[in-house]
């Protein structure tokens, strides 16, 4: 049975071994005890300066090892958290951005239809419908503190990184309005002006719908290709692992 070290020198000898589990806190206590012994010239506790230097070096080593162990533990913890977040993002974002973009397109189309409805309001009609976003958020109008989500949101395609919202703008309605000569009498052809604006808005709406239909089709094609590649890779792995019949 091994006797426990009792003298300071014996305890320092144990702490100096590389495989000793003594912590940096324990080593620091030994250093303080040794320095006190040297200062008092206490024969019971005094150690030579060389042994004290070795103990101080062992303290720095133990402290560095403890810091490295703590850092690696935090590294592993954050890596697990990072991997879980990445998996959640891969699962949620593509489907979420597709749904939000589709909703924004339909809201934009409805806003344009509401605008045409209000422009053609007969005399005496006071009814007015707020756009869908204002109605949903309980607002009367947009402001600096409450900007429009449809106007301020940017959505990027998961695979390509290309911006898919807001859509590329073409001043189609402006070009159509500018190309049509105006009547000197506003009231004479008001219905024609409304028809031209409605036609321009319908064309712009259709362009948006075509753009997002094309984007969605490209996304589905990429997802199908990725699924096909995964399936072929699994089949290839199965064929490699399958034992040969003899």
pLDDT in tens, 84-100: 999 999 999 999 999 99
Residue 91: its pLDDT value, please? 94
Domain assignment present for 83: no
What is the spatial distance between Cα 214 and Cα 206, in angstroms, rounded to a whole number? Answer: 12
Q: Do 102 and 70 lie in a common domain? A: no
Q: Do 67 and 154 lie in a common domain? A: no
**17-68 tens-digit pLDDT:** 767 677 888 888 888 877 776 666 655 555 677 788 888 888 888 899 899 9
Q: Do 51 and 170 lie in a common domain? A: no
Give yes or no for residue 188 having a pLDDT over 50. no
The owner of tokens 């100096």 is 16
What is the spatial distance between Cα 149 and Cα 164, in angstroms, rounded to a whole number? Answer: 15
Q: Do 206 and 105 lie in a common domain? A: yes
Q: If you average pLDDT over residues 210-216, what whole number do you get? A: 67
Q: Do 158 and 211 lie in a common domain? A: yes
* pTM, two decimal places: 0.54
Q: Do 148 and 31 lie in a common domain? A: no
Q: Do 70 and 112 lie in a common domain? A: no
Domain total for the chain? 2
Give yes or no for residue 121 having a pLDDT over 80. yes
Q: Do 101 and 37 lie in a common domain? A: no
Domain assignment present for 3: no
- Structural tokens at position 204: 């712009």
Q: Do 166 and 132 lie in a common domain? A: yes
**134-181 tens-digit pLDDT:** 999 999 999 999 999 999 999 999 989 999 999 876 554 444 444 444
Domain assignment present for 246: no
Give yes or no for residue 186 having a pLDDT over 50. no
Residue 196: its pLDDT value, please? 65
Residue 175: its pLDDT value, please? 43
Our CA dihedral for 69, 70, 76, 82, rounded to 10 degrees, sits at: -150
Q: Do 155 and 200 lie in a common domain? A: yes
Domain assignment present for 199: yes
Give CB contacts under 8 A, 24+ apart, made by 191-194: 194/116, 194/119, 194/120
**Residue 162 structural domain:** 97-121+128-241
């Amino acid at each position: 049975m091994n006797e426990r070290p009792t003298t300071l020198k014996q305890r320092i000898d144990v702490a100096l071994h590389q495989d000793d589990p003594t912590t940096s806190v324990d080593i620091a206590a030994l250093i303080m005890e040794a320095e006190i012994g040297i200062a008092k010239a206490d024969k019971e506790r005094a150690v030579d300066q060389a042994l004290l230097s070795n103990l101080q070096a062992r303290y720095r080593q133990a402290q560095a090892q403890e810091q490295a162990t703590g850092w690696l533990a935090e590294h592993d913890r954050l890596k697990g958290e990072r991997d879980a977040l990445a998996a959640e993002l891969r699962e949620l974002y593509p489907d979420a951005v597709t749904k939000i973009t589709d909703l924004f397109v339909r809201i934009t189309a409805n806003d344009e239809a509401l605008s045409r409805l209000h422009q053609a309001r007969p005399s005496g009609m006071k009814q007015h419908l707020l756009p869908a976003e204002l109605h949903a958020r309980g607002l009367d109008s947009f402001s600096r503190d409450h900007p429009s989500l449809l106007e301020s949101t940017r959505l990027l395609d998961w695979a390509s990184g290309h911006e898919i919202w807001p859509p590329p703008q073409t001043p189609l309605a402006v070009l159509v309005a500018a190309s049509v000569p105006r009547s000197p009498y506003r009231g004479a052809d008001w219905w024609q002006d409304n028809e031209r604006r409605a036609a321009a808005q319908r064309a712009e709406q259709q362009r948006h719908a075509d753009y997002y239909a094309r984007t969605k089709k490209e996304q589905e094609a990429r997802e199908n290709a990725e699924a096909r590649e995964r399936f072929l890779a699994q089949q290839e792995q199965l064929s490699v692992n399958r034992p040969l019949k003899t």
